[in-house]
Amino acid sequence: MSFAKDSKLQIIETDIEDADCGQAFLSGLLHACGTITKNAEGIRLDVVTDFKEVFEFLNRLVNRLYGQKLSLEISDDYIINKTTYYRIKFPYDISLQVLKDCSLISQNGELSFVAEIDNNLVADDETKKSFIKGAYVGCATSSIKLSELGSASPTTGYHVEFSSHKLEFLQGLQGLLQYFDITSKIALRKKVYVLYLKDSEAIKDLLALVGAQQSVLDLSDEMAKRDLRNTVNRQVNCINANINKTVEASLKQIQAINYINKKIGLESLPEDLQEVAVLRLANPQESMDELLKLSTIKLTKSGLNHRFRRILKIAEILKG
């Protein structure tokens, strides 16, 4: 199950009893994924979604607000990119009233959605939260994938977004989020507007706001795993870098010692340099610290480095 769908399931676990909050949720949902159909029977309001689990929740909500039941259908027309879409149908005799109550229908006689959010529907903190919940259930998606700590291919980044063809709706939603100190951005992507959050703390605040508490915990756990993994990776990279430096230094020292031995013999070196040359040849893979431990010579690390620099210099001189 996707991270977004799991968080949506948490939102609809508890029914909305308050009528104003229920109306605000319904308005947010319809702004996000509502459609209007007009035929010989009249005007019908539908919700088109790939999240069919919302049907029972929405059916109970509409029944409490309007005393009517909804119906659910699926059509081959709604299978896009291997994702199945469902149509939740409102009865004809309440569709127009729902549109008016949610401030969604144009007042100039046109059969179209009003994109702006009605401030009267989101007059207090609770109705604002309920509207955001409806919008989240209706059109929120996420690229977040919860990973196992030992995963060979861990996911990176955090991203939650709301997509819509109605810029005014997303701008209004952005304002509601900002009211709760949640910062988001809006962009145009392939003729669709997208309101998105990439900051992990902002996403956690959003999830807490809409009541997806388990997702907040899951995301916090994921963040901790990624931080630990990144720390381990940095440590491993540092260790590998140090190993590479040790190997490279050792190789240069051995090459210099062998060249000196070939040209003039190690016995021609000063006694103090002979000692470290033999020590290095006998322990080609050891670090400077390990050489000091293995040596019977009383030297500091800087002293040992100084002797090897002298050997390298002698080899350079011999090479001309």
Q: Please count the other Cβ atoms lying within 10 Å of the Cβ belonging to residue 24.
A: 28
Indicate the pTM of the whole model.
0.72
Q: How far apart are CA 125 and CA 102, in angstroms?
A: 17
Which pLDDT value is given to residue 144? 85
Extents of the domains making up the chain? 3-211, 231-319
Mean pLDDT for all residues in the chain: 87
CATH number among 3.40.50.1000, 3.10.28.10, 3.40.630.10, 3.40.50.720, domain 3-211: 3.10.28.10
> What's the gap between Cα 115 and its chain centre?
29
pLDDT band at 143 (very low <50, low <70, confident <90, very high): confident
Per residue, what are the HEC states of 130-189?
HHHHHHHHHHEEECCCCCCCCCCCCCCCCCEEEEECCHHHHHHHHHHHHHCCCCCEEEEE
Q: Average pLDDT in the 173-197 region?
A: 95
Q: Average pLDDT in the 296-314 region?
A: 87
Q: How far apart are CA 14 and CA 56, in angstroms?
A: 12
Buried b (16+ CB within 10 A) or exposed e, 41-51: eebbbbbebeb
Is the pLDDT assigned to residue 264 strictly greater than 80?
Answer: yes
Which pLDDT value is given to residue 149? 41
pLDDT tens digits for range 54-111: 999 999 999 999 999 999 988 655 555 677 889 999 999 999 999 999 988 875 556 6
Q: How far apart are CA 268 and CA 247, in angstroms?
A: 26
pLDDT tens digits for range 214-256: 999 988 888 888 777 778 778 888 888 878 888 888 889 889 8
Is the pLDDT assigned to residue 151 strictly greater than 50?
Answer: no
